[in-house]
Structure 1
Amino acid sequence: MFQFKNSAKDLDASVEYLEFLRGVKISIPMLLGIIPFALVLGTQAAQKGFSAIEVPLLTGLNFAGGSEFAIIEVWTQPPQLMFLLLITFLVNSRHILMGASLAPYIRHLPNRKALPLLFFMCDESWALSITDAHKNNPRNPYAGFSVFFYIGLCFALYVMWVVFTTLGVGIGAFLGDVSKFGFDMAFPAVFLVLLRGMWKGFKPALPWLISLIAAALAYLYLPKGWYVLVGSVTGIIAAILFVGDEK
């Protein structure tokens, strides 16, 4: 009996390890897109006066690339803290909905385990893990969700993001603004891939389009940095209106 229990535990650990590795493996194509704009963020932060210690604090404690780019874009000396907090909240507000949609998949876990999973959640790990759950069990995706697959995704994405944003500080000192090499195109490219993978028709994607148009107009006609606020608020309002319309 004792040997049987140990064998079962070993089997479970082996499955969990394989699921973790599967998550890391699946993330590799995504990482190839993340590395360039991680370097861009690091170089832009360095140009705004961030040090090699401050950049990993920014990217590690606020694991959300969109808001980090927005913060760097409007950063001033001295920083306008309330404005930065408002931008961070608006850009990251999508995580409220993402977290709510992920919660049913991890509701069986105690808070001490579930809360760290939510902290390390990002657009890529959220989208890939939920898509994987639907593939594993189309009839009951909640049963098809693999926690260790999700952990593998989060681990690879988090480590790569923090490491390469930090490396961007040093690279920027040698190359200057790396966006001139087209690295900044990786950021919208990754989100287009995610949107394509989660495409459910034109109507659900309308908030994205409305937010894009509003942000583009604000970028052209409003003071620097305001396009972030305008695009975020417009996208949130559009999402609320369309969700309410569907109900």
Structure 2
Amino acid sequence: MPAKGRSEAWRGLKAAIPIMLGFVPFALVLGAQAAGKGFTAVEVPPMTGLNFGGGSEFAAVELWSSPPHVLLIAAITFLVNSRHLLMGAALAPFIRHLSKRQALMALFFMCDESWAMGLADARKARANLSLGYFFGVALGLYFCWVIFTTIGVLVGPILGDVTEYGFDMAFPAVFLVMLAGMWKGAKAALPWLVSLFFAAATYLALPGAWYVPAGALSGVAAAFLMARADG
């Protein structure tokens, strides 16, 4: 890797450290819950490594049974991860300079936090996505998540219900910090509020993970209507 690429990767890794610290307790919770469902420290890393999406992994573990309802778990995983379709579309203008291989690798390692940080960095610089910076963030988060979910499997039976220690509040706190960093005023936040309203209403009205696409699509629709009105 060229010197500039290493410098950018180091910059991304340093920027991701606070988020990585927020990952740790949440990863321990997932690992502990997986252990309660009979998963081992050998089985969890492939699950968290091949499907790098915390929300869908929690849903899969919650629905896990013996024998597992594979089609149901796959459908819920798709619904929860459907937000990545919109995230990838938002990132597309900033990765056109990448080769197809580079773009696919970036999208594989993309999660909510690396997407938000990479997009914010590109917009701030008014430039294309810095691949070094993005992978510094994404790989730091990726390995942190895989390692500590595995540790959660091992220590979960010892600690018992780790949510009693408040570990499950770490991820919402991380998202609040991310939203604060993306704040551009009350008007710009209107699509967020629309998305929140429809997601909450759908969560209360329908079982399953339908609140994820409902929140995402309503937020996109609100942003589109606002853009048309301003135009």
- Give the TM-score, by structure 1 length: 0.84
Q: Matches of 2:158 and 2:133 in 1, distance apart? A: 38
Matched residue, 1:3: none
CA distance 1:233–1:96, change in 2 (3 Å):
closer
Q: Matches of 1:130 and 1:236 in 2, distance apart? A: 18
Matched residue, 2:3: 14
Asked if 1:85 is matched to 2:98, the reply is no
Deviations 1:114-138 (A, max 9, x none): 111110011111101111112223x
CA distance 1:40–1:203, change in 2 (3 Å):
same
Q: Matches of 2:87 and 2:39 in 1, distance apart? A: 30
Structure 2: which 5+ runs fail to align? none
Task: Please report how far the alpha carbon of residue 17 of structure 1 lies from its aligned counterpart in structure 2 after TM superposition.
Answer: 0.7
Amino acid at match of 1:72: V
Asked if 1:75 is matched to 2:59, the reply is no
CA distance 1:152–1:233, change in 2 (3 Å):
closer
Amino acid at match of 1:210: F
Task: Select the structure of larger CA radius of gyration.
Answer: 1
Asked if 1:98 is matched to 2:87, the reply is yes
Aligned length: 223
Asked if 1:203 is matched to 2:183, the reply is no
Task: Please report how far the alpha carbon of residue 103 of structure 1 lies from its aligned counterpart in structure 2 after TM superposition.
Answer: 2.0
Task: Please report how far the alpha carbon of residue 100 of structure 1 lies from its aligned counterpart in structure 2 after TM superposition.
Answer: 1.5
Q: Matches of 1:65 and 1:154 in 2, distance apart? A: 14
Matched residue, 1:170: 154
Matched residue, 1:190: 174
Structure 1: which 5+ runs fail to align? 1-11
Q: Matches of 1:64 and 1:55 in 2, distance apart? A: 13
Q: Matches of 1:106 and 1:233 in 2, distance apart? A: 24
Matched residue of 1:165: which SS? helix
Amino acid at match of 1:207: S
- Residue pairs, 1:28-107, within 5 angstroms: 28-107=17-96
Amino acid at match of 1:58: M
Kindly, what percent of the aligned residue pairs are identical? 51
RMSD of aligned residue pairs (Cα, Å)? 1.8
Q: Matches of 1:15 and 1:179 in 2, distance apart? A: 42
Asked if 1:146 is matched to 2:167, the reply is no
- Give the TM-score, by structure 2 length: 0.90
Task: Please report how far the alpha carbon of residue 197 of structure 1 lies from its aligned counterpart in structure 2 after TM superposition.
Answer: 2.0
